[in-house]
Each structure stands twice: as C-alpha cells, then as structure tokens.
Structure 1
Amino acid sequence: MKRLYKALFIFIIAIYIIPINIVTAINKENIVIGNENDFIDNGDEFVLIDIDGLMPGDYIEDIVVIKNESNKSFNLKANIEELANNEEKYYLLDKLNVYITCGDLEIFKGKASDIDKFNKSYVNLGDINKGEEKILQVIAELDGRSVSNEFQNKQGAFKINFFIGENYEKVNESDKKPSWLPNTGGQNVIYVLILAIGIVLVGYKLIKKR
C-alpha cells in the first residue's frame, strides 16, 4: 500500500492594541498586516496561508507584510512563543523546522518545538517609517526522515508577537538587548501595538491508498 502523508498549515492573524499613557493616538487601522494579496483590519482573524497536501520533506514558504500607513514612525520589535503543550511523546512541532527572517535579520532558525526558549527574548527589527513596510519571511519544513504513523492527528502551534512603539528618538544600542520591554513610564512611548501572528499547525493525517 502506498502511504500519502498530509498536513494542513493555517496561519492566523490577530491584532491587539494596548494603550499606554495615551496622549495622542493615530487611527489604529493605519497599521495593517497581510501578505502580497490581502490585508486585514485590526481585530480581525484572517487565514494568510492554507496549504493542504504537504508531505514529509516538503516545505512551505510565504511572507507577512506589516505596513505603516500612518503619519508617524515606529520602532518594531518581535518575540516568539509556543502555544501548544509538548509533553506528548509524538509531538508534531518536534518535526517541523522553521526559519523566520526579516530582511537580512534572522529571527529564528530551528525546530518549532524550541521556539518557547525565546519567549522572553526580543529582536529589534528596526524603525518602520511612515509609508514604509516590513516583510517577514517564514519557511517551514516537515521532517521527511522521522515522521511516521504515530504522528497522525497531532497538532501544535506557536505565535510571533510584534511590539510597536512610537518613536521620538532614534533607537540606541541598548534597545537591541533581548531584555527589552515596553516602557510604560517613559514619555517617549505613547502607546504600544501588539500584533500577534499565530502560526497554527493543524491536523496531521495519514491516508492509506490501496
């Protein structure tokens, strides 16, 4: 019998806004997120990537675009965190290799199950000026050597959080440290947008053909 491995990858976008010492604010719809074809409004959920029929050894590659359509400049930072429980013996994220970049900057490279080790680290993606955009490239490959029947119907998830703070000054070198957190007491930070990109791996199945 011939075995056909099938996995369904769904990338879901959710956007949240957290006000911090609000003095003035731009329209939150001026920060938009999407891909080359579609963009969404803040607060909506959206399927950016829906791939059916990925076999072990295959990979998916796509981009996420963050546009600044406001009249202000922002500094953009990111971290990543794991959402799924990895206590199962046959944990699917152990078999998913992920490579995430923003331009020449590498955000993450390794097994998806190792992402949670970086949930308290922040990567400075630089300034995003008015009218500009940041392009995030995501490559995910399903291991073709060790995925077997035991992994059918397994699932896992992780997300990428973006922290956007309004810029009145140029970012200095200390802002590049992994310990960066939004400064709720500083007068330079008017508010912070948190853009949560949930990358959800759903439903690994094994289909047998006669």
Structure 2
Amino acid sequence: MQNADLPLTPALVLQAYRLGVFPMSESRDDPDVFWVDPRRRGIFPLDRFHISHSLTRTIRRGGFRVSFDTAFADVVDGCADRAETWINPSIRNLSITLHDQGHAHAVEVWQDAQLVGGVYGIRIGAAFFGESMFSRATDASKVALAYLLHNLRSGGFTLFDTQFLTPHLASLGAVEITRAQYHRMLAAAVGQSARFTGAVPAPSDVIQRRTQTS
C-alpha cells in the first residue's frame, strides 16, 4: 500500500492495473488516493460462479430487467452510497472518464423503473477488474454478477479480478490466490483480446450455466 504522488489520470490507472495495482481512498471525503497490491488476491474463476436454486428461480421469474452500460455513473454512485466507501470524488470521476473512453463497463439491474443493483469494473485485454457492486433489492447484485459472468465467458475473457475475497464472494464461487499467481494470470490476460458485448443474454442462457458448472 502506497500513497499516490502522481495525478490520477486514465493512462496512469490503466498502466497500474496492467501491473496488478489499483487505487483506493480511505473514505468518500478523503481527497487522497493510495495504491494497493494485495498479497492475496480474489478472483472469480470464470467457470466457478455458483448460481443457487434460489437465484435460478429469481432469474427465471423475470422480476428484474438487466442492461449493460446504460447508467454507468448511477451504478458507481450506488456502489458509493454506503456508510463506508473507498470511492471518493476523484475515483468516481476517473471511473466515469474510463467508461467514456470504453475502458469501463457496468451491469445494471432494474425493478420497474428503479435501479436496484449493479456492478462495474475496468477491462484491459482479456482481464476484467471488478470494482464494486451494490444491491437495493434481494438478489439484485447476484443477478448482476450472473449476467456479467455470462458476458465475460462469452466474450473470451480469461481473468475476472475481484481485488479481495469476501465471504459473500466466496459463497458465489470466488477464490483467493497468491500475488505471484495473480501476476502470472494478469500478464497472460492483458496480452490477449476479448470483447465486452452490450447484448443482454436471455435468462435461460444465464441459467444454463448452472447445469454446466455446478
């Protein structure tokens, strides 16, 4: 962990991600940013996302509408809308700029006309760096992850970085690896090409992955 001395620019942040480092802030109101390169890294093996029976039922019922990249800033704001957050204004504005440049993407989950969940991250080559997610309705963030994982697999991504492993992510199939393992996977992924498509898959296609990977 090291404080950032250089101005936080899109080019600097993309280069940092290529090297396995990402920026964070202590809080929403802290103007400072520091760089993090965890000793243990959380990742989602792209064939390991666990779609439970209850989540399968939620997706099949169709109570949510899913979209890609239609409300990116709102997803970032939803992720920051909590008592403790590492997303300060500098990181928020940088994320939106990266999205405008085509380097960052979001999955939005809607209930009626309300944004109730989502996840966003940055992509380089065949690596996707998950930044944060939020949920204002039961299972909304899990639905966002299920659709994101489907997109990443379909687009040829090879690495889905979650930064840290939490009990919630572990319950969905995420694992923890060493820094050295992560850097090897990262070096291979950023040198490959992948496609983040805006096409929203049918719920049946997302659910089908459950029988293929469970």
Measured against the shorter chain, the TM-score band is: under 0.3
Decide which structure has greater helix share. 2
Larger of the two Rg values belongs to structure: 1
TM score, norm. by length of structure 1: 0.26
Q: Which has the higher relative contact order, 1 or 2, with Cα contacts under 8 A spaced 6 or more apart?
A: 1
